[in-house]
Amino acid sequence: MIDVFVARQPIFDRHDRLSGYELLYRNTAVSTIADGAAADAMCTDTVIHSFLDIGLDDLTDGHRAFVNCTREFLLDGQVELLPSQKVVIEVLETVGNDPAVVSACRRLTQSGYQLALDDYVDDPSFDALLHTVGIVKLDVLHRKPGELAALMRRLRPFNVQILAERVETMDMHQECMQLGFDLFQGYFYRRPELVTRKEIEVGQTAMVRLLNMLRDHETPDAAIESGFRSDPTLTYKLLRIVNSASVGGRGIDSIGYAIRMVGRQMLYRWLALLMVSSMVTGNDVTDQLVYAALLRARLCELIAESSPQVRHPQALFMTGLFSMLDVLLRMPMRDVLARVSVSDEIRQAVMEGSGPYAEPLLLADAYQRGEWDQVDVLASSLGVLPMQMAWLYTKSLTWVNEQLTGVTNAVAA
């Protein structure tokens, strides 16, 4: 497990109403500024932690998220992974104002994104961007008398909202109000608040394999699904991607359905971002929990295939996998399921022990625990011979070992 951090600072309008939060990079629990990494790495980590680890709605309470965007993030199109209806893209002052940047910004606004130009300086070469963005941020700290008023006069013809950034005193707040600023941000209102969460690490080897498969148009969907099935962590991340507002899936009951909903191109781009910000775990406890989760998932699936009373083996694989995510993520199951969208049947099985998927899950759990009397009762109820369970369990063990051996061989290669 690792700790992930994101800071948020509120932005208010002229009527003291919350307009959104700027999301800020932090690398430790005691960091008060964004440091310790290159700008592109900070941008990538903030996006990954905000959207896939912590969750955007948890960070912003449903308000807009102001997300810093570097030149690479903008021109490579990575920013288009973010939900246009929930973010404001802050074009950093280091991005530049050349034709490539202007073209990318226009494409974003045409796609429904709102853009903010950060740390504006009075330079006519930025006029093309001023015709594209909807918000301009002015650093008001230590400005000379009359300088802010001149900048406001310069910006008003462009029909943009003007945000006063780094407002630290009541006097500055009142001055900005009198000058006609539309939005306000700074220590006077609130310092950045650190949000932290424990998150399970993602193995780089599994991601490399999946990235290669997604890039190869000849790779069948079944092979990609198999790649996710062999890694509970990536399956969880997949559901987080689906759950992001840019995809908006509900009621997922299989890995294949989740992959089809996201689409190969978007999935490749999200995994590429994960790859940049990830490190191999090497944690023995986590490795054993992954082994147990895969074993239970596969056993649930085989029980479903063997029982005349149970349908949807793929959904049972997901049920078995998710039944151990609370242990893997070290958080209550209700919090795990609050962060992803799964079908009601899976939710009922793992939370309440009820519904059509509950008995196969209980049977798999009982067999792993060695509770043989319960195994006999549940197997008979599902139309599975108790002696058949030993064969199903052995088959599950073989499958898990094959999956993990594949990862080990890939590392060695």
Burial class from Cβ neighbours inside 10 Å (0-12, 13-18, 19+) for residue 146 reads: exposed
Please report, for the domain that includes residue 115, its CATH number. 3.20.20.450
What percent of the chain clears pLDDT 70, i.e. is strictly above it? 85
In the chain, pLDDT over 90 holds for what percent of residues? 39
Q: Which of 27-36, 68-77, 160-169, 171-180 has the lowest mean pLDDT?
A: 27-36
Token pair for residue 224?
Answer: 């990609």
295 and 265 both lie in a single domain: no
Q: What is the pLDDT of residue 281?
A: 43
What gap in Å lies between CA 361 and CA 303, rounded to an integer? 9
Give backbone dihedrals phi and psi of 268, rounded to 5 degrees, phi first.
-60, -45
> What average pLDDT does the chain have?
83
Q: Which residue has the higher pLDDT, 6 or 342?
A: 6
For the cut 60, the answer to whether the pLDDT of residue 387 exceeds it is: yes
For residue 32, pLDDT over 70 is answered with no
Q: Distance between CA 264 and CA 191 in Å, rounded?
A: 40
Q: Which of 234, 251, 277 is the last residue of a domain?
A: 277
> Are residues 188 and 214 both part of a single domain?
no
Of 139, 173, 197, the residue that ends a domain is: 197
Please answer whether residues 368 and 390 qualify as being in contact, where contact means their C-beta atoms are separated by less than 8 angstroms: no
Q: Which residues pair with 8 in a beta bridge?
A: 23, 193
- pLDDT for res 61: 86
Residues 6+ positions from 232 with CB-CB distance below 8 Å:
290, 293, 294, 297, 321, 324, 325, 328
264-268, 273-277, 286-290: which range is least confident on average? 273-277
Q: How many domains does the chain have?
A: 3
Question: For 183-198, what is the mean pLDDT?
Answer: 88
Residues 17, 71: one domain? yes
Q: Which helix (H) or strand (E) holds 403?
A: helix 386-412
Residue where a domain stops, chosen among 230, 249, 277: 277
Q: Cα–Cα distance between 269 and 401 in angstroms, integer?
A: 29
DSSP H or E run through 351:
helix 344-352
How is 105-136 classified by DSSP, letter by letter? HHHHHHTT-EEEE-S----GGGHHHHTT-SEE
Residue where the block lists tokens 């853009």: 115
Q: What's the whole-number mean pLDDT along residues 244-258?
A: 68
Same domain, 39 and 85: yes
| pLDDT (average), residues 239-258 | 70
Residue-level pLDDT at 337: 80
| Owning domain of residue 210 | 201-277
**Hey, is 190 helix, strand or coil?**
coil
What are the residues whose beta carbons fall under 8 Å from the beta carbon of 312, sequence distance 6 or more? 253, 254, 304, 357
Strand, coil or helix: 284? helix
Q: How many CB atoms lie within 10 A of CB 392?
A: 23
Q: What is the mean pLDDT of residues 20-49?
A: 74
Query: Which region among 94-103, 267-276, 291-300, 367-376 has the lowest average model confidence (pLDDT)?
Result: 267-276
Considering the domain architecture, whether residues 118 and 50 belong to the same structural domain is answered as yes
Cβ–Cβ under 8 Å, residues 410 and 208:
yes
User: 122 and 146: one domain?
Assistant: yes
Residues 6+ apart with CB under 8 A from 143: none
Which CA distances in Å does 293 have to 29, 190, 246, 320, 329?
Answer: 30, 43, 29, 7, 12
Residue in the structure block whose two tokens are 């108790």 = 386
User: Tokens in use for 274?
Assistant: 């994960």
Please check whether residue 255 is in contact with residue 235, taking contact to mean a CB–CB distance below 8 angstroms.
Answer: yes
Please name the residue ranges forming H helices in 244-342: 255-262, 264-277, 284-306, 313-322, 325-329, 333-338
Higher-pLDDT residue of 102, 249 = 102
The more confidently predicted of residues 278 and 312 is 312
Query: Is pLDDT larger for residue 269 or for residue 22?
Result: 22
For the ranges 154-163, 165-174, 238-247, 394-403, the lowest mean pLDDT is seen at 238-247
- 135-139 and 114-117 strand pairing: parallel
Q: Are residues 152 and 295 in the same domain?
A: no
Are 317 and 297 contacting, i.e. CB atoms less than 8 angstroms apart? yes
Do residue 259 and residue 325 come from a single domain?
no
The H-or-E segment that residue 176 falls in is helix 170-179
Mean pLDDT within 72-95: 87
Residues 20 and 99 in one domain: yes
226 and 167 within one domain: no
Token pair for residue 317? 């694989």
Q: For the residues of 244-262, what is the DSSP string, one character each?
A: STTT---SB--HHHHHHHH
> pLDDT-derived band of residue 340, with 50, 70 and 90 as boundaries?
low
Task: Tell me the pairing of strands 2-13 and 183-185.
Answer: antiparallel
- Single pTM value for the model: 0.61
CA dihedral sign, ordered 276, 277, 279, 283: negative
Is 413's pLDDT higher than 50? no
Q: Which of 139-143, 217-221, 246-250 is the most confident on average?
A: 139-143
For the stretch 117-131, pLDDT in tens is 998 988 888 899 999
More confident residue, 228 or 381: 381
Which residues make Cβ contacts (< 8 Å) with residue 238, sequence separation at least 6? Answer: 228, 255, 258, 259, 262, 267
Tally of CB atoms within 10 A around 99: 9
DSSP assignment letter at 78: G
The Cα 217–Cα 206 span in angstroms is 18
Residues 160 and 40 in one domain: yes
- Dist. CA 350–CA 354, nearest whole Å: 8
Q: Are residues 52 and 177 in the same domain?
A: yes
